[in-house]
Structure 1
Amino acid sequence: MKKWMRWEDYVAGICGLYAALSVFWTRQSSASMTLMLVFGILLIVSGVLNLSMPGTPWLEYVQCALGVLLFISPWIGAYSDHTGAAWTSWITGIVAAGVTAAAIKPAMDAHHRMMPSH
Structure 2
Amino acid sequence: MADVSARPWTRPHDWAEVVLGAVLALSPIWMDTDNAAMWTMIVLGALIALDGLVSLAMPGLIYGEGLQVVLGALAFISPWVMTYTELDGAAWTSWIVGALTVLAGAAALPVANSVHRTVRGH
1-structure distance, mates of 2:118, 2:12: 20
- TM-score, normalised via structure 1 length: 0.95
1-structure distance, mates of 2:69, 2:86: 25
1:3 lines up with 2:17 in the alignment: no
2-structure distance, mates of 1:4, 1:114: 16
1-structure distance, mates of 2:104, 2:121: 28
Aligned residue pair count: 117
1:66 lines up with 2:83 in the alignment: no
- TM-score, normalised via structure 2 length: 0.92
- Fraction of identical pairs, as percent: 38
Segments of 4+ moved more than 2 angstroms: none
1-structure distance, mates of 2:72, 2:83: 18
Report the AA paired with residue 19 of structure 1: L
CA RMSD of aligned residues (A): 0.9
1-structure distance, mates of 2:60, 2:38: 33
1:80 lines up with 2:85 in the alignment: yes
